[in-house]
Structure 1
Amino acid sequence: MADNKQAFQAGQAAGKAEEKSNVLVDKVKEAATGAGTAAQTAGQKISEAAVGAVNVVKDKTGLGK
């Protein structure tokens, strides 16, 4: 009888541990997605700023005409 109870408790503990690990994995995935989005946005802003800078140089040097 004690063996069944111990096996049941071990199963419960394993299930709880698996659920906690799944929650942590989901949080890590969300954080990684957020970081990727932020990096993509930053890259886009840098690219836009570079294009703007090139256009200013072209206008100032007369190359843009």
Structure 2
Amino acid sequence: MSSTQFNAGETHGKTQAKTEQLVDSCKDAANAARDRSAQAADQSAGFLQQTGEQVKSMAQGAIDGVKNTLGVGDNNTKK
């Protein structure tokens, strides 16, 4: 094997190893970004659910207030 062929083979091997390292690095970065996105989505979903429950509770309180004002609420019915 000539020196040129040896050098070409060595360069090819180094290039292939470096390419594999870069691919692995990109995969790691993509996985980390996916994990952060999933965590942010979970936090957003929890926040929206909590806010929805608060709005529902406030609306129910308003309905009860109107019913009581009109005399048809649970507090005003005869038992």
Q: Tell me whether the two structures share a fold, i.e. TM-score over 0.5.
A: yes
CA displacement 1:13-62 (0-9 Å, x = unmatched): 00000000100000000000000000000001000000000000011111
TM-score by length of 2: 0.73
Residue of structure 1 in register with 2:29 after alignment: 31
Distance (Å, rounded) in 2 between the aligned partners of 1:17 and 1:41: 36
Same amino acid, percent of matched pairs? 26
- Alignment counterpart, residue 46 of structure 2, candidates 41, 45, 48: 48
Does structure 1 residue 7 correspond to structure 2 residue 5? yes
**Structure 1 unaligned residues grouped into runs of 5+:** none
**Structure 2 unaligned residues grouped into runs of 5+:** 62-79
Residue of structure 1 in register with 2:18 after alignment: 20
TM-score by length of 1: 0.89
Identify which of structures 1 and 2 has the higher relative contact order when contacts are C-alpha pairs closer than 8 Å and 6+ apart.
Answer: 1
Runs ≥4 residues deviating over 4 A: none
Distance (Å, rounded) in 2 between the aligned partners of 1:18 and 1:8: 15
Which structure: larger Rg?
2
Backbone CA RMSD of aligned residues: 1.3
Distance (Å, rounded) in 2 between the aligned partners of 1:42 and 1:34: 12
